[in-house]
Chain A
């Protein structure tokens, strides 16, 4: 089994304040993981560290990671508010071989086709999250990390997200979800990391 993230003493924090202390973690490709915990337990910090977006103190933790296609849909949006949805898609997917038809199909699927020329800065938080999920669907990264997956999404949005996770599971891609409680999106989970312990 091949690992894409491993640490046997993961300690994370901001300044001198510890958020996560001595966590043993090893994450494999083609497996699903869930991070749960109450507010302030370090879910976002951990998912940011896994997705290489963490800027803080790692206290010289021994972190080994494999260079892979990894994407994080976090609590704050990654899309550029000054660009339209279509410009954002083209910008974030310029490395991938994606044509106009594929973009159009996915935008229709996520009910975003009519908003593709609008600036993302004018979108609601739910629409931004939906757009990020649509981009993740198009990009199909090997590892997808989603922080608080249900937040901002309506019922239909949650269904679309669950469908994407199921599709990824069938394809053998890795998904990592972090929320206060398990949302039961996976049929099989390799490990559930409870940060309350």
Chain B
């Protein structure tokens, strides 16, 4: 299902694509540095709004990342047929490569935000990393699904449709980041895992059907 040549190609294309790594990530970093000074005139954000702002940055960054390079359905079909590549292989390899690109960036971004605002989340590092991993997986699969199986491949429509879904995923993260006790956090993580499995099954059903 996951082909290393597709991952290699996706990573190569990402490093040569100026609009993602070289534009979105630095822009987000600058926003993170500037935000606390603009909002509170100091490198600190009140605990009450920290969580909401961090989630907001997570959603903005994920949205920018998702719409950075929309797939063209016609070009994609030509590419897959030209190389006799199965859609299912492409989908999972692309999901994996997007995760390799996106996950470390989002973790670094969250650490930077926490550092520049001198505020931290009350949750354990493991819970934060796992919740972000599930969030990344879900957003990547939903985004690819929209681009491959629907004709909503223009940035505006993509933006309008996926942002409410991302907000839903972010709401699931909020209780985990609020610092619940371990048992309840585990329940929330299991719930997130279940949602990831449902999305995986849903996309898998469509991939096999197509």
Contact = CB atoms under 8 A, between A and B. Distances in A.
B82 A72 contact: yes
B30 interface: no
Interface string B1-42: 001011011001100110000000000000000000000000
Given A55-B77, A87-B9, A91-B9, A82 B17 contact: yes
B79 interface: yes
Nearest to B9: A91
Contacts of A55: 73-74, 77
Contact of B82 (A78, A82, A94): A78
Interface string A87-121: 10011111100000000000000000000000000
Interface string B57-84: 0000000000000000111011101111
Given A52-B81, A94-B83, A95-B84, A87 B12 contact: yes
A10 interface: no
Contacts of A146: none
Interface residues of A, number: 24
Contacts of B75: 76
Contact of A72 (B6, B9, B78): B78
Contacts of B84: 69, 71, 95, 141
Nearest to B82: A78
Contacts of B85: 95
Contacts of A78: 78-79, 81-82
Given A55-B73, A94-B3, A70 B81 contact: yes
Most chain-B CB neighbours within 10 Å: which of A55, A72, A91, A135? Answer: A91
Give the interface SS of chain B, mostly helix, strand, loop or mixed: helix
B13 A80 contact: yes
Interface residues of B, number: 20
Most chain-B CB neighbours within 10 Å: which of A51, A52, A80? Answer: A80
A47 to B, nearest CB: 12
Given A53-B77, A55-B73, A55-B74, A92 B82 contact: yes
Contacts of B73: 55
A4 B9 CA distance: 31
Contact of B83 (A52, A82, A92): A92
A141 B84 CA distance: 10
Contact of A71 (B5, B12, B77, B82): B82
Contact of A74 (B5, B16, B78, B83): B78
B18 to A, nearest CB: 10
Interface string B79-107: 10111110000000000000000000000
A91 B5 contact: yes
Contacts of B77: 52-53, 55
A27 to B, nearest CB: 16
B5 A94 contact: yes
A83 B9 contact: yes
Interface in A32-61: 51-53, 55
Contacts of B6: 91, 94
Contact of A53 (B9, B13, B17, B81): B81
Contacts of B8: 91
Given A90-B5, A91-B5, A94-B5, A83 B79 contact: no
Interface of A: 51-53, 55, 69-72, 74, 76, 78, 80, 82-83, 87, 90-95, 132, 135, 141
Closest 3 pairs between A and B when the two form their complex, measured CB to CB: A94-B5, A78-B82, A92-B83
Interface of B: 3, 5-6, 8-9, 12-13, 16-17, 73-75, 77-79, 81-85
6 contacts: A51-B81, A55-B74, A80-B79, A82-B16, A94-B3, A135-B82
